[in-house]
Structure formats: structure tokens, C-alpha cells
Structure 1
Amino acid sequence: MRIAVAQITSGADKSENLELVREYSQRAADQGAQLVVFPEATMQGFGTGRLDHNAEPLDGPFVQALESIADSSSITILAGVFSPADQVERDGKAFNRIDNVAVVRGKAQANYKKIHTYDAFGYRESDTVRPGEALCTFELFDVTFGIAICFDIRYPEQFRELARAGAQVILVPASWNDGEDKQRQWELLSAARALDSTSFVVACGQARPEDERPSEAPTGIGYSRVLDPTGQVIASAGATPELLVVDIDPEVVAKVRKTLPVL
């Protein structure tokens, strides 16, 4: 199976971000990819303004446009979007929270709401994002995929449960926070999750933005990567926007799980 990883930098303008999706989806399709994975926050980059102001229902214009792009490019798309969720009070202030969602559109349909919010390193995503509650898998061309989002990668049991649910490939759209030692942690965690779930891991991050954004916001560092079920890196990107196209053999998963039965 051929999978593309679209490491982009999302900005504040949803229409411009959709054009990036259109461009990279067509480039991926032209190279024979059946699935293209975009990062978390494809709809609007972190640190570019109020997410709740641009959030849309999952049947709204942005996701409808993703469906149209998937159809016109003959490729299945995974992309990170934001949808309205609820209102909570924190320290006497009311917050309109959103759901952080990875949507799949094209020859498969799925919606995964990020379970583990990024409440770490001085940032509190739970103030503005409602945590999800359910794991998500979907089928595409007889391959079972699981989905996790960014900070989820620090929780090995989520990946093991996805593998137990049949996932052979786990897709991880992300917008990893930059900073000291963060690249090493991203690379170490993605390899560990592949190895301890004995699954392929396709980790697609936002590229490092060139514009000024709040230092505490998880704006992305790049370094997207694809790993096999033993944690070996098949392909990797640098810090800047890039398209990776890789071939994976899902039958390898069964062979690895037979010799390394950690599940």
C-alpha cells in the first residue's frame, strides 16, 4: 500500500489551508498514493487565533471541501479539524471549547476526537479542547488503520488497544511543540509506539512555522516519519514543508506479531 505524508504549515486562513490540502493531495495521487495524511490542526494552525471562532460542525464547509478534494484527486484524506464542543468555566472565565478531530474522507469515513489533551510544558489544551472518549479504527483496501493525535503518542496503552482492535497501521497527525529536547522525544516516542504495538506508525507533524507565534503554543517542528512494526524508520522529513510517499506491506505486521507477541 502506498501512503503519503503531507507535512505542511497551516496558517490562520482556512481557505489557504484548503489550497495546501488540494495541492499536496494531488501531488500524492500523482505518485500513486492511496491515502494522504495531513497534520493535526490542518484547518487552522495553533497560535494563529481563536480556534472556537473558526471551528465548524463535521458536516460543515471545511470537511465538505475535504470530501470534494478526495473525490477529485481519487485519494483518501486524513486531516485535523476543529468542531464546536461545549462551554466550561476556568478561574471565573467562560471558555467555548472545541473538539480536536482527525477526519478521514474519501474511500473511507472516520472521525477521531483526541483523547489526551496537551496539558503539559506550561500549556493547557483542556481549557479550549474537550477530551475525546473513544478509540477509532477504520478499514481501507483491506487494511485496518487506527488513529491517535499528537499528545496521545505519550500513552502506549492507547496504541496497544488500537492494535488489539485490529489496527495494522496507526496514523498520528500532530502539531508537536518546539523546544529543548522535543525533537528527540518525538522521534523516541514514535519509534516506541511502533515497537510496543507492533504496528506501522505514520506520524505526520506540522512543519516548523516561519512566522512568529506564541512560544507556548504547539505550533509544530516537522520531522514527520513512517516506522515499521519493529520501530525502524522507513522514511523521515526535515523541519520544513515536505511530502513523503512510502510503500508499506501490511502483511509484515502479522509476521512481526508472531515472532514478537507483546500484545
Structure 2
Amino acid sequence: MKIAAVQVTSGSDINNNLTIAQRAVREAAGEGARVVVLPEGMSQAFDSGRLDTQAEELDGPFATGLKELAQELDVVIVAGMFRPADTREIDGKKINRVSNTALVTGAGHHVGYDKIHTYDAFDYSESDTVRPGSDLVSVEVDGVKVGVTICYDIRYPEQYKDLARDGAEVIVVPTSWADGPGKLEQWRTLVSARALDSVSYVVAADQARPGGEEKGGQESGPTGVGHSIIAGPDGVRLAEAGYEPEIIYADIDPEKVRKARKALPILED
């Protein structure tokens, strides 16, 4: 099964972002990809305005547009979006929180995974505006079980092990990873480490770096460092993008996962 990680830069307008996503999915499908993974925040980039004003449910125009495309091309699409969640009061101000959701649509699926681990670190509090999820999500595509995570989840190996123990052989990670000193090195290490922890393929699709390679390594906020990665169950990076918009591909072989898990039965310990 061929899988693609799409690296693009989304913006503030949900309709334009849908067009960007559709164009990229068509390109990936044309190259034979069966599963196409787009970044976190595909419907609206972080740092581009209030997320609640464009948040939609899974039957809204953004998710429906991708659902129809998945049906047309006979592919499975994974894409980050935001859905209405709840209202909280913080410092006397009412905040309409959203769910940070990875839409999975195609091959009979149309579901959402809500990011469990919100990015509450380094003086940033995602949970102020995003309600954490609680449930693991996996889907089956052509006999291969695909688990779903989002961005900061990648720092929590237990989630990856739990998905693998539940049968996931591939774990996808829509991401909008902040740039800055050491952040790219951390990103590469974490993707390979989670592949090793779960003895699974990990497909991590990040937002392209705004400003490209020229801005690489500088503080960026949660708007992407690029370098989308597909890692094998041995932790080896099979494909890696640069800073700019790009699509990377890899062939998924479930037999390699089974052999690796037999040789290294850490999920049974």
C-alpha cells in the first residue's frame, strides 16, 4: 500500500485551504497513493485568527469536500481541522473552545480523532482554546490497520504502544510543529522513536515552514518546521521532506511489521 505525506502551508481562509488540500490529494493519488495524510490545521493554520469562527462539524463544507474527493479518487484522506467543542471562562473572559481533529475519510470511513495531548508547554497553552480528546481512533484500509494521532501526541509513547497493541501497523501524525533551536532535531528523533516504540510505520505530515529554508531554525510559533517524515518499524526514515511544500511517499508492507514485532516482541512485555 502506497502512502503519502503532504507538506503544504495552510492559511486563514478555510475555503482556500480546502482548495490547497484538494490539489495536493489529486497529485498524490495520481502517483498511486492509497492513503494521503495532510497536516494538522489544514482547515485553518494556527496563528491565523480565532479558530472557533471557522470551526465546522464533520458534515460541514470542509470535511464534506474532502469526503467527496476521497470517494471520487478512491483514496483515504487524513486532514487536520477544527470542530466546535465547549465554552470556558478564563480570567473573566468566555472562550469558545474547539476540538483539534484529524478527519479520516474514504474507503467507507468518515470519522474524526480529537487530539488527546494538547500543547501546554513552553509558555503556550493550547488547552485554553482546544478541548482535549479522550479516545483512540484506528481505521482499516485494505486490510491494514491505521492508527491516528496529532502533533504533540508524538511525545507520549504510551499512546503509540496502545494503538499498536490494538492492531495498528501504521500510525499517522498530522502536525504543525514549531520551529526554533533544536526543534527539528527533536522532531526527527521523536518520529523514529515512536516508530521503534510501537514497531509500526509512522507517517508524519507537517506544515511546510513559512518562509522556507531561509527561516529554518528560527522561532516560528506553531506554524510548521517542514521535514515531514515516513519512518519504518525499525525507526529508519524512509522519506523526509525539506522546508518547502512537498509530497513524500513510501510503500507500506505489513509483513515487515509482523516480522519486526516477532523479532522484537516489546508490545507483549
TM range (shorter): over 0.9
What is the root-mean-square deviation of aligned Cα atoms in Å? Answer: 1.4
Q: Is this contact kept in 1: 2:178–2:221, CA < 8 A?
A: yes
Could you tell which deviates more after superposition, 183-192 or 69-78? 69-78
Q: Deviations over 1:186-241 (max 9, x none)?
A: 100111000011010001100111399xx673111110000011100100000110
Q: Aligned equivalents of 1:111 and 1:22: distance in 2?
A: 18
Q: Is this contact kept in 2: 1:138–1:144, CA < 8 A?
A: yes
Q: Which residue of 2 aligns with 1:135?
A: 136
Correspondence 1:224-239 to 2 at 5 A? 224-239=228-243
Q: Which amino acid aligns with 1:192?
A: A
Q: Aligned equivalents of 1:85 and 1:195: distance in 2?
A: 34
Correspondence 1:209-228 to 2 at 5 A? 209-210=210-211, 217-228=221-232
Q: Aligned equivalents of 1:204 and 1:148: distance in 2?
A: 11
Q: Aligned equivalents of 2:12 and 2:211: distance in 1?
A: 13
Q: Deviations over 1:23-78 (max 9, x none)?
A: 11111111111110000000001111110011011211111111112122222110
Q: Aligned equivalents of 1:169 and 1:238: distance in 2?
A: 22
Q: Which amino acid aligns with 1:78?
A: V
Structure 1: which 4+ aligned runs deviate by more than 3 Å? none
Q: Is this contact kept in 2: 1:123–1:217, CA < 8 A?
A: no
SS of 1:126's equivalent in the other structure is helix
> Normalization by structure 2: what TM-score?
0.94
SS of 1:52's equivalent in the other structure is coil
Could you tell which deviates more after superposition, 144-153 or 203-212? 203-212
SS of 1:42's equivalent in the other structure is coil
> Normalization by structure 1: what TM-score?
0.96
Could you tell which deviates more after superposition, 193-202 or 102-111? 102-111
Q: Which residue of 2 aligns with 1:242?
A: 246
Q: Structure 1 unaligned runs (5+)?
A: none
SS of 2:158's equivalent in the other structure is helix
Correspondence 1:42-53 to 2 at 5 A? 42-53=42-53
Q: Aligned equivalents of 1:143 and 1:111: distance in 2?
A: 18
Q: Is this contact kept in 1: 2:67–2:110, CA < 8 A?
A: no
Q: Which residue of 1 aligns with 2:55?
A: 55
Q: Aligned equivalents of 1:111 and 1:80: distance in 2?
A: 9
Q: Structure 2 unaligned runs (5+)?
A: none
